[in-house]
Amino acid sequence: MAKTEISSTDLVWVFTEKLRSFGDCAPNVSIAIVPSKDGWMAIASRSDRHAYPLCAPRIEQVQKRLREIYVLANDGFRLGGMVAGEAAPARLSLAGRE
């Protein structure tokens, strides 16, 4: 089955919505989607990983499921660094979202 191309910004939104549906991650956990050799990966800050240790396995689970569905669209990011003029990887906080 072909994977759906998605921007990193949209993938952050999809990822955080999936993560919120489980309820074992705090609403203020931030997720960044970054390109990797495997396509993309979700990263939470070190402080969030330490503050919410039960969230890390859930992030891995959601990442595994969404990697089967989505591939990052070429939105300007290159593995190994950014090209001049490009924006930083997308990051979205769950805080304040209803």
What DSSP assignment string belongs to the chain? -PPEEE-HHHHHHHHHHHHHTT--S-TT-EEEEEEETTEEEEEE-HHHHHH-TTHHHHHHHHHHHHHTTEEE--SSEETTEE-TTPPPPPEEE-TT--
pLDDT digits (tens, 9 = 90+) for 62-79: 999 999 999 999 755 455
Q: Residue 85's pLDDT band (boundaries 50, 70, 90)?
A: very low
Q: Residue 94's pLDDT band (boundaries 50, 70, 90)?
A: low
pLDDT at 7: 94
pLDDT at 87: 52
pTM for the full model? 0.72
More confident residue, 42 or 26: 42
